[in-house]
Amino acid sequence: MKQALAVLWAGPNSLLGLLLGLATLATGGRAQVRRGVVEFYGGMASWLLRHLAPEGILAMTLGHTILGLSSAALDYARDHEHVHVRQYQRWGPFFLPAYGWCSLVAWWAGRRAYRDNYFEREAYGDEC
């Protein structure tokens, strides 16, 4: 029951991930399920991840979906991304605004918008 509520609470974010996942499949990408999460890689997911940040990123979590650069990138990033899955389960539809806010606050304070974001620090196992 608790897990069903967590899936529902993260649902709007998962829906966005599924839409991007469908676009990934339509552009030659692949899908797989690992640890109860739907992962998409290749196709549009790879293009998006290469263009989201200047340095590129390996993977991105949206609710109970993960977009990855490749299958190998997903294997490498899976533990980190599953911390974000649990964050989505806690924050639900408020996760993305809260994540954006934390990046803004970090940047404003002269720190790194990505790496010093509270949610990333937790996912990387830093002391928060």
Q: How far is the CB of 84 from Zn ion (least distance, A)?
A: 6
Q: How far apart are the first and last CA of the chain?
A: 30
Given the rule CB under 5 A, which residues bind Zn ion?
Answer: 120, 123
Burial class (CB in 10 A: 0-12, 13-18, 19+), 11: middle
Nearer Cβ to Zn ion, position 22 or 76? 76
Q: How far is the CB of 60 from Zn ion (least distance, A)?
A: 8
Nearer Cβ to Zn ion, position 24 or 61? 61
Q: How far is the CB of 125 from Zn ion (least distance, A)?
A: 11
**Nearest-CB residue to Zn ion?**
123
**Cα separation, 122 vs 118, whole angstroms:** 6
Nearer Cβ to Zn ion, position 46 or 61? 61
Nearer Cβ to Zn ion, position 39 or 120? 120
Distances in Å between the Cα of 90 and the Cα atoms of 42, 100, 115 are 29, 16, 21
